[in-house]
Amino acid sequence: MGKLYALLISALLVGSGVVVRAQGNGPGVRGARAAALGNASVTLADVWSIGNNVAGLGQVTQKSIGFYAANQFVMRALNSAALAVALPIGTVAETDTKPKNGVIGFEAQRFGDKRYAEQRLGAGYGYRGGQVSVGVRADLLQLSMEGLGSRRAVALSLGGQAEIVPRRLVFGAYLYNLNQAKLARYEEERVPTVLKAGLSYRPSKKIMLNVETEKNVEQDADFKAGLEYQVIEALHLRAGFSSLTEQTTVGLGFLTGRFRIDYAAAWQASLGLSQHVGISFQTAVK
């Protein structure tokens, strides 16, 4: 029953020409901010860099914790949730733009329901030196199907970011599952290996334009783009799209004290609405 259930979901999505980002233990989406930008997120630097591009952790100057939840196409079987933590190593002065000893991050994520589920536990480290940031991450992945048991694998990932023009033009790249981890020997079932690369153009503090290409070795390339505009200090508006999933996205972010609340909605013509919400908290710099 569990296998049939998973196959029915996959058939529905494939028949509609849509790839569900979280399915198959791929890198997926991290945070409602990234979701609102069409998941053009390889150049971002915040607590969700632990999943979007671990190199971005190297620019997180405050202890941060984030929670993210999403539902795709109003289907209970396509719910996902994640918890992330970023911890700068050593003290960080108010004038510092980066932690001197880097940042470690942790993440726990779940996708699916009791019949078909994917879980991951991840740990990563990011370091920024000059205008370049690098990072490494390890994931323990588990796929479970009702009546068929579980499969586990360990995936390793590498990331990098570089300011081509300081504070104006940023390049980012992320290689997920570089070791091509296997979920099962049967038919060489492997965790997807995915390469993401993109640019972020920031002509001012209020505007950010991201473009990105994501390539799964077993799928067509996905072109993504996102725009963020700061209306006032406490409010950001966002929009984006993804060519492979044929989704258009919009969203907004609120800053209130040390909390940031983000929301995103994505629309796909064949399958309908997806929603994403995230909340994060940062401690004070000491």
Pairing relation of β-strands 169-176 and 132-145? unpaired
Pairing relation of β-strands 189-190 and 194-204? unpaired
pLDDT band of residue 69 (cuts 50, 70, 90) is very high
| DSSP string for residues in 254-284 | EEETTEEEEEEEEEETTTEEEEEEEEEEEPP
Per-residue pLDDT, averaged over 2-15, amounts to 44
pLDDT for the residue numbered 27: 86
- Paired with 178 in beta bridges are none
Structure-model confidence comparison of residues 48 and 148, the more confident one: 48
pLDDT above 60: residue 189? yes
pLDDT for the residue numbered 22: 42
Task: Report helix, strand or coil for 176.
Answer: strand
Residue 4 neighbours by CB under 8 Å, 6+ apart:
none
pLDDT above 80: residue 185? no
pLDDT above 80: residue 3? no
What CATH number corresponds to the domain at position 41? 2.40.160.40
pLDDT above 50: residue 12? no
pLDDT band of residue 1 (cuts 50, 70, 90) is very low
pLDDT band of residue 96 (cuts 50, 70, 90) is low
Between 31-35, 56-60, 190-194, 236-240, the lowest mean confidence (pLDDT) is in 190-194
Q: Taking Cα atoms as reference points, which of 265, 286, 258, 256 lies closest to residue 47?
A: 258
Rounded distance between C-alpha atoms, residue 158 and residue 249, angstroms: 27
* Amino acid, single-letter form, for residue 117: A
Number of structural domains, the chain? Answer: 1
Q: Taking Cα atoms as reference points, which of 121, 113, 80 lies closest to residue 6?
A: 113
Pairing relation of β-strands 132-145 and 189-190? unpaired
Rounded distance between C-alpha atoms, residue 278 and residue 56, angstroms: 18
pLDDT above 90: residue 230? yes
Rounded distance between C-alpha atoms, residue 86 and residue 89, angstroms: 10
Between 65-69, 98-102, 140-144, 202-206, the lowest mean confidence (pLDDT) is in 98-102
| Strongest mean pLDDT among 67-81, 84-98, 180-194 | 67-81
147 is written with which tokens?
């009546």
> Is the separation of the CB atoms in 148 and 2 below 8 Å?
yes
Per-residue pLDDT, averaged over 153-166, amounts to 96
Structure-model confidence comparison of residues 21 and 217, the more confident one: 217
Residue 151 neighbours by CB under 8 Å, 6+ apart:
142, 143, 144, 183, 184, 189
Per-residue pLDDT, averaged over 9-25, amounts to 47
Q: Which contacts (CB < 8 Å, 24+ apart) does range 254-261 have?
A: 258/282, 258/283, 258/284
pLDDT for the residue numbered 80: 94
Rounded distance between C-alpha atoms, residue 49 and residue 51, angstroms: 5
pLDDT for the residue numbered 98: 74
> In Å, how far are 33, 61, 153, 214, 254 from 41, measured between CA atoms?
9, 19, 25, 11, 18
Which residue segment(s) compose the domain that 153 sits in?
A: 2-282
Q: What is the pTM of this model?
A: 0.88
Backbone dihedral region for residue 36 (phi beyond 0: left; psi -120 to 50: alpha; all else: beta): alpha
Per-residue pLDDT, averaged over 266-277, amounts to 94
